[in-house]
Amino acid sequence: MKRTHLRLSAMTIAACASFSTSAAINSAAIIASSLSPDCLEYKIVGICYWLYCTPAGCKVRTSTKVRHYIPDAVVSAYANTGDNPWTEVSPLGAPNLTAQAGNDGTTNHSNENTIIRFKEADVLGHPGAAAFSRFASASGYTCKGATTPFVPYMLSTLDSIAWRYGIPESVYPESLTPGMREIGGMLAGDLWGNVYPRDGFLHQTNDYKAAAVIAQRAGDITTRDGQPHLYQPILASSEDGYWPAGALLEGDAKTGKWQELTPVLSQTCAVFPNGEQHAQAEDEAYAWALWRPYSCCQRRGQKFLGSTDFQ
């Protein structure tokens, strides 16, 4: 892939309502970003029932059922192989025998509307678990997430056949049928791109939108079992009084939402597409925290009898 460095004029920047900035971020900043009430979205959603028995007899106890989001992972999408904007983990995505280079394809013409953008993608456990737990516990009883800090759940440089050649997903119905599994839509005028095939290539002139679609693809893969990729699923097992997050679905905040970490650190979460004005990273490297919803209640007996939701 040929590397290109596009210098936008001030007029073009104004027309696109975007600006460029540096994308690097470190673990300390990512940990601090997890203290977000907007992303946490803590709610009491129901009541759990437990059977509590002693030698004197049995009785039913109740506990509050809560739901909140947890920053499970940091998902990075970046053009140059080895240049993950999360500085401490960038060596994990270094070039190897099957993944040597990166960056965008180009027509070598001044009009780059047909540009094919390429992004590597890394999914690692969010480093802020301890700080987030202290922060969230101030709201009440809290649930556990599905990841371990800093553990890699997906490194696209190790998934070269699927990520660089689209094998086998390029022939899936979702890849060949317009309107299936898309982020945004043509009718709404906010189509950012297609989820399938879940590889590193995308026709998209806006670099931020391209990175967001690639991040969504990586999240889509890692929140499901049995996908044709090299990865570890980010899935927890259900237990009595514990309902973990399931598969991520584009545009559905009930399955997960995104907090921008770079190139602009945000204290709010959203789903894609989320507007038109976004900073473009000078080094074409972006990262988001993926927050996913969990529900749970405190165990107050030996046997779980069920729960009642308020809504």
Q: What is the pLDDT of residue 69?
A: 98
Encoding tokens for residue 108? 């070598």
Give the helix, strand, coil percentages of the chain, each rounded to 5.
Answer: 20, 30, 50
Q: What is the pLDDT of residue 18?
A: 43
Q: Quickly tell me which residue has 């070598």 as its tokens.
A: 108
DSSP string, 15-26: HHT--EE---B-
Q: What is the pLDDT of residue 102?
A: 64
Encoding tokens for residue 170? 């390029």
Instruction: Supply φ then ψ for residue 291, to 5 degrees.
Output: -100, 135
Of the segments 120-129, 177-186, 268-277, which one has the largest average pLDDT value?
120-129
Q: What is the pLDDT of residue 12?
A: 32
Q: What is the pLDDT of residue 260?
A: 98
The CA distance from 171 to 300, in Å, is 51
Per residue in 94-134, pLDDT tens?
888 888 776 665 444 445 445 799 999 999 999 999 999 99
Q: What is the pLDDT of residue 103?
A: 64
pTM of the model: 0.88
Helix (H, G, I), strand (E, B) or coil at 129: helix
| First and final C-alpha spacing in the chain | 51
Q: What is the pLDDT of residue 107?
A: 41
Q: What is the pLDDT of residue 287?
A: 98
pLDDT averaged over every residue in the chain: 89
The CA distance from 197 to 201, in Å, is 9
Q: What is the pLDDT of residue 104?
A: 64
Q: What is the pLDDT of residue 189?
A: 81
The CA distance from 300 to 234, in Å, is 28
Q: How are beta strands 303-309 and 116-118 bridged, if at all? A: unpaired
Q: What angle do CA 58, 59, 65 make, to 5 degrees?
A: 135
Which residues, at least 6 apart from 213, have a Cβ–Cβ distance to it below 8 Å?
Answer: 183, 192, 193, 194, 195, 202, 204, 272
Does position 24 have pLDDT exceeding 60, yes or no?
Answer: yes
What number is the average pLDDT over the span 205-218? 97
Q: Quickly tell me which residue has 């074409």 as its tokens.
A: 284
Does position 2 have pLDDT exceeding 90, yes or no?
Answer: no
Does position 277 have pLDDT exceeding 90, yes or no?
Answer: no
